[in-house]
Amino acid sequence: MKESTPEPVPVLQARGLVKRYGRVTALNGSDFDLHAGEVLAVVGDNGAGKSCLIKALSGALTADAGEILLDGQIVRFHSPLEARRAGIETVYQTLALAPAMDISSNLFLGRETRRTGILGSVFRMLDKRAMNRDAQVQLDNLGIATVQQIGQIVETLSGGQRQAVAVARAAMFGTRLVIMDEPTAALGVKESGMVLDLIRRIRDRGLPVVLISHDMPHVFEIADRIHVHRLGQRVAVVSPKEHTMTEVVSLMTGALRLEENGELVDATGHVTGLPDEDAHT
């Protein structure tokens, strides 16, 4: 009898995460699975608990219950710095860039390269030449051609260029995965397309990406799977190739629910969609 091949362990998992703020339950037994080499979109209505889930995964908060697993091993992050050391980089909606500093300095912010010898160890001098060189290589590898000079001050960049710098920094130091919170929220059509191309390039390099977004067209364009969050927990994971935007929105609002066999069922119990083999609750 031929043995079945075991399923690969997800890069990042969460099981039964709970987070309460007084009487408010932000996470109510939330699960999460991110596989290697995929873009996983996390969608949900306002107040669904998406931000709380991402903060728990990235170390910005500690869940009251549940567990997080990185490559199958249980981890506990007490700060974003610990998550970064584990290879999890997060691009926040605020970007967290230093506008008065140049592109290279922003890419190495908090992780500056010091000069060798006494100049670096005693006088703490930075190796600006090496940082500029490595920063340019990173931008070239990601195909970021809109930036004129690596020494350009960030506050002189457009919104899309600033987003590209934040994404490049995450890709530069993220060894396990990258989390992006609404990366196209304040961008125009052209700049949004540039950011989506960057996400594709990061995925093609083998780095999985978690994308939090309210923009359904962007989600369906870029995502391999869609994690639907509602009332503090995961209610479905569906494939954008098998389901429509309307169905995903209905799952977000509770108008539809996804059964274990993949059928979409409305409030009356009527089956409204075809089973999706890749979807599960």
**For residue 4, what pLDDT is reported?**
57
**For residue 273, what pLDDT is reported?**
58
pLDDT tens for 65-118 read: 999 999 999 999 999 999 999 999 999 888 889 999 999 999 999 899 999 999
Most confident of 34-38, 110-114, 133-137, 193-197: 34-38
| Sequence letter at residue 24 | V
Residue 276 has pLDDT above 60, yes or no: no
Q: For the chain, how long is the longest CA-to-CA vector? A: 74
Superfamily of domain 12-95+158-266: P-loop containing nucleotide triphosphate hydrolases (3.40.50.300)
Mean pLDDT of 155-182: 92
Main-chain dihedrals φ then ψ at residue 236, nearest 5 degrees? -170, 155
* Distance, first Cα to last Cα, the chain: 31
Residue 189 has pLDDT above 50, yes or no: yes
Mean pLDDT of 9-26: 96
Mean pLDDT of 26-33: 97
Nearest to 171 by CA among 189, 154, 183: 183
- Cβ-based neighbours of 269, under 8 Å, separated by 6 or more: none
Nearest to 262 by CA among 280, 235, 245: 280
- Cβ-based neighbours of 71, under 8 Å, separated by 6 or more: 9, 11, 176
- Cβ-based neighbours of 103, under 8 Å, separated by 6 or more: 135, 139, 147, 149, 150, 151, 152, 154, 157, 165
Q: What distance in Å separates the CA atoms of residue 33 and residue 268, rounded to the nearest whole number?
A: 30
Residue 179 has pLDDT above 90, yes or no: yes
Beta bridge partners of 264: 258
Mean pLDDT of 191-210: 92
Burial class (CB in 10 A: 0-12, 13-18, 19+), 24: exposed
Mean pLDDT of 25-44: 97
Q: What distance in Å separates the CA atoms of residue 251 and residue 265, rounded to the nearest whole number?
A: 10
Domain ranges within the chain, ordered by starting residue: 12-95+158-266
**Considering Cα of 117, then 171, then 60, then 208, what sign does the dihedral take?**
negative
* Three-class secondary structure of residue 114 per DSSP: strand
Between 2 and 222, name the one with better pLDDT.
222
Q: How many C-beta atoms lie closer than 10 Å to residue 112's C-beta?
A: 15
Is residue 30 a contact partner of residue 44, using CB atoms and an 8 Å limit?
Answer: no
